[in-house]
Chain A
């Protein structure tokens, strides 16, 4: 069976992917949009259609900003494949998908990867206990199922933490405390970039509103230098150490951790595209030109997957990448491209400030206690990683062989950055020299029967 061919394959139906599809379909290019979720919207506009009916105010105006985009996307004429996972892109631009138990191969002239961000791991002691969840996970439950926990404690830093705590409060849930790990050092390094941030007065105002509302409704603990989850078989609270040396314990069965988001590079790395270490945001990002073109001429990357910029920047990045492709397909779009380039720069103007302010301090990026689990899938502790480093493992890939960190289901999503930073601090090498795990297809697990379905039905 010949592979189905498309002019444009867009992977991810968040703001960047949806916006890109509007541009490519308008130019008459045959476009397919693939997303592994049931609904479009990505993380930020998750479950928008359903929530729109009741429109709970606690989700905030920025959430409902997505309505127009989602509507235009639904009408744009792109083939939309929800519940469909891309698990590999080959050198020859064969894209391997799986959907409803069946694998397929399709090919494309151009690919736009818009797979968004993932949360930076926050490996504190006890973070794998039941009752502990990432803030992103907590927000997903709120959006998807209107489920929230009473008396939760939010720990960490970054816009998503404050937004979610704010949404919790607005939803009428009592928040026990917000433990903010943002240090004075970060404030000092961020302040010089504050004027740039004010090019985005709306965003600054929104952030201040969240913080103000949070302060009025719950206790905010600052100057925290260490955090531990208390509990044996279930989280029972958080213990935090202040810069003064004092310790505070707060009891709760629901602890939400978050210390920022980083580009989800699993697919782009597994595809073999070039990546670079981003010193400002302290994460890997694909190497792209101003339009989003990657090291592979046919592949573009847009939105948070190319570098964290937020939903509005993602929309523009999607438009920009799509316009560049449309131009390469023979329909020049000089003005549109210029316009998007400028808007994109404008939206990114707040990043130097945010990236510096909310970069978690090193002692939160690295695990502190020996028994802290680093690789959740394979239950590898900090002590195990240290032992591997002492016995000669010199890089992330060797470390896999020495102690199995990164060998599990999540393909390093929840340990990669931590492990890499541990190696770098052990060897004294830079993050660029240290490098990241070599990632392998399938980018997300697929079943044997799904994989075999390229050949035929599974034998009984």
Chain B
């Protein structure tokens, strides 16, 4: 099949979704121009925790996440990189009875829905796999084959490969308006206007603004989840660890540094591209890390940071065709979109080329947030 459009498709946002979409489209011979107001991977996609997990996902999101995992398992060949994906296991440990209850309910729920990838491991097995865990652990829910990746490296690799296949990236270039002009769209930027038939909105936390330029009202909220990175320590962990009923994410990188996140949010200043760290929030998830790995008491934290991410009301992403022909949205990943990236890129490329997508995207339809008629009439 030839290109869907002769004019290059315009992709707004050079995060993982934009870069992966550019990659898949370029692979299929479709010319694309990617614009980003900053540089590749500057926002959520370059600074996230790098968790590559199916574990703990909303049931509606699991098929997409599983499809993504197919790509992760061949990411080195796909992108010509080395050690792109650290395939380990991901476990959410239960530290108390409430956590254990949650775990057994979760597993039952998944079984009912037909998924078997999350399994319960008991205390002894777990301590055998992760000897440094707190001895008071009760067990945990585990997914074999989940792991982590370096976010900037992967986002950049999608960019590099897309460029090698002919994609054009323009940065720093800000989209300021999108207007219909006859059969096609005019994307106005601070560096000139681009005419196109298809616009793909991968603008992350700014996706709502871009959507509004196309006439779609898709409200999202911007938040800034926080992370810390520690000094190097001898390697003791070859898995990613979270807690049941909590939001910890804990991993150790190849160089021995640990990346600790905990869902706690800083302040996102979307207009100025800035984030602010809230010390009390850091303290709270570092304490959780301490409950899981008490031996790390004296390890130093070198840096805390936060990334700006777009959240939807139901914490599921917005992926699908917009209200008008030629507008496709893929944003609002609510802090779990990194792992989905390759599958989202593939799905958005399918939408661009009007192909059947591999995964049913109904749960992510932009129209699920359609305003009631009286609100629409007020617009």
Do A and B come from the same complex?
A: yes
Scoring A88, A103, A440, A460 by chain B CB atoms within 10 A of each residue's CB, the highest score goes to A440
Q: Is residue B246 contacting chain A, with contact meaning CB distance below 8 A?
A: no
In the complex, what's the smallest C-beta–C-beta distance from B110 to chain A, in angstroms?
A: 30
Q: How far is the CA of A446 from the CA of B297 in the complex (A)?
A: 11
Contact with A along B267-278 (1 / 0, CB 8 A): 100000010111
In the complex, what's the smallest C-beta–C-beta distance from B251 to chain A, in angstroms?
A: 15
Q: Is residue B96 contacting chain A, with contact meaning CB distance below 8 A?
A: no
Taking a contact as CB atoms under 8 Å apart, the answer to whether A458 and B294 are in contact is: yes
Q: Is residue B78 contacting chain A, with contact meaning CB distance below 8 A?
A: no
Q: Which residues of B sit under 8 angstroms from A445, Cβ to Cβ?
A: 231, 300-302
Q: Which residues of A sit under 8 angstroms from B41, Cβ to Cβ?
A: 401
Interface SS of chain A: loop
Q: How far is the CA of A442 from the CA of B279 in the complex (A)?
A: 9
In the complex, what's the smallest C-beta–C-beta distance from A398 to chain B, in angstroms?
A: 6
| Of the residues A401, A407, A447, A455, contact of B298 by C-beta under 8 Å | A447
Looking across the interface, which residue of chain B has its beta carbon closest to that of A409? B302
Taking a contact as CB atoms under 8 Å apart, the answer to whether B301 and A442 are in contact is: yes
Contact with B along A376-401 (1 / 0, CB 8 A): 00000000000000000011001001
Chain B interface residue number, banded: 35 or more
Taking a contact as CB atoms under 8 Å apart, the answer to whether B279 and A105 are in contact is: yes
Q: How far is the CA of A448 from the CA of B41 in the complex (A)?
A: 28
At the interface with chain B, which of A90-98, A291-299, A355-363? Answer: A90-98
Taking a contact as CB atoms under 8 Å apart, the answer to whether A451 and B303 are in contact is: no
Interface residues of B in 270-305 (CB under 8 A from A): 274, 276-280, 282-284, 286-287, 289-291, 294, 296-305
Q: How far is the CA of A105 from the CA of B134 in the complex (A)?
A: 29
Contact with A along B301-332 (1 / 0, CB 8 A): 11111000000000000000000000000000
Taking a contact as CB atoms under 8 Å apart, the answer to whether A411 and B290 are in contact is: no
Q: A401-B46, A454-B279, A458-B297 are in contact. Are A448 and B303 (CB under 8 A)?
A: no
Looking across the interface, which residue of chain B has its beta carbon closest to that of A455? B287
Q: Is residue A7 contacting chain B, with contact meaning CB distance below 8 A?
A: no
Q: A441-B277, A447-B298, A448-B296 are in contact. Are A459 and B152 (CB under 8 A)?
A: no
In the complex, what's the smallest C-beta–C-beta distance from A375 to chain B, in angstroms?
A: 13
| Of the residues B289, B290, B303, contact of A442 by C-beta under 8 Å | B303
| Of the residues A90, A407, A449, contact of B279 by C-beta under 8 Å | A90
Taking a contact as CB atoms under 8 Å apart, the answer to whether A447 and B297 are in contact is: yes
Taking a contact as CB atoms under 8 Å apart, the answer to whether B279 and A441 are in contact is: yes
Q: Is residue A272 contacting chain B, with contact meaning CB distance below 8 A?
A: yes
Q: Is residue B230 contacting chain A, with contact meaning CB distance below 8 A?
A: yes
Q: Which residues of B sit under 8 angstroms from A442, Cβ to Cβ?
A: 301-304
Scoring B134, B267, B276 by chain A CB atoms within 10 A of each residue's CB, the highest score goes to B276
In the complex, what's the smallest C-beta–C-beta distance from B34 to chain A, in angstroms?
A: 14
Q: How far is the CA of A459 from the CA of B134 in the complex (A)?
A: 9
Looking across the interface, which residue of chain B has its beta carbon closest to that of A378? B255
Q: How far is the CA of A445 from the CA of B303 in the complex (A)?
A: 7
Taking a contact as CB atoms under 8 Å apart, the answer to whether A451 and B302 are in contact is: no
Q: Is residue B39 contacting chain A, with contact meaning CB distance below 8 A?
A: yes
Q: Is residue A201 contacting chain B, with contact meaning CB distance below 8 A?
A: no
Q: How far is the CA of A152 from the CA of B304 in the complex (A)?
A: 40
Interface residues of A in 401-460 (CB under 8 A from B): 401, 407-409, 411, 440-442, 445-449, 451-456, 458-460
Taking a contact as CB atoms under 8 Å apart, the answer to whether B286 and A451 are in contact is: yes
Contact with B along A101-137 (1 / 0, CB 8 A): 0010100000000000000000000000000000000
In the complex, what's the smallest C-beta–C-beta distance from A347 to chain B, in angstroms?
A: 36
Interface residues of A in 21-80 (CB under 8 A from B): none
Taking a contact as CB atoms under 8 Å apart, the answer to whether A394 and B39 are in contact is: yes
Taking a contact as CB atoms under 8 Å apart, the answer to whether A103 and B274 are in contact is: no
Q: Which residues of B sit under 8 angstroms from A395, Cβ to Cβ?
A: 39
Q: Which residues of B sit under 8 angstroms from A447, Cβ to Cβ?
A: 297-301
Taking a contact as CB atoms under 8 Å apart, the answer to whether B277 and A451 are in contact is: no
Looking across the interface, which residue of chain A has its beta carbon closest to that of B258? A448
- Mind listing 14 A-B residue pairs with CB under 8 Å? A105-B279, A105-B280, A272-B276, A409-B302, A411-B302, A440-B304, A442-B303, A447-B300, A448-B230, A448-B289, A449-B290, A452-B283, A453-B283, A458-B290
Give B contacts to A, CB under 8 Å.
39, 41, 46, 134, 152, 156, 228, 230-231, 267, 274, 276-280, 282-284, 286-287, 289-291, 294, 296-305
Give A contacts to B, CB under 8 Å.
88, 90-91, 94, 96, 103, 105, 272, 394-395, 398, 401, 407-409, 411, 440-442, 445-449, 451-456, 458-460
6 closest A-B pairs (Cβ-Cβ)?
A454-B283, A445-B300, A452-B287, A449-B297, A96-B279, A455-B287
List 6 additional A-B contacts (Cβ < 8 Å) besides A105-B280, A451-B283, A451-B286. Answer: A90-B276, A90-B277, A409-B300, A446-B301, A448-B299, A459-B290
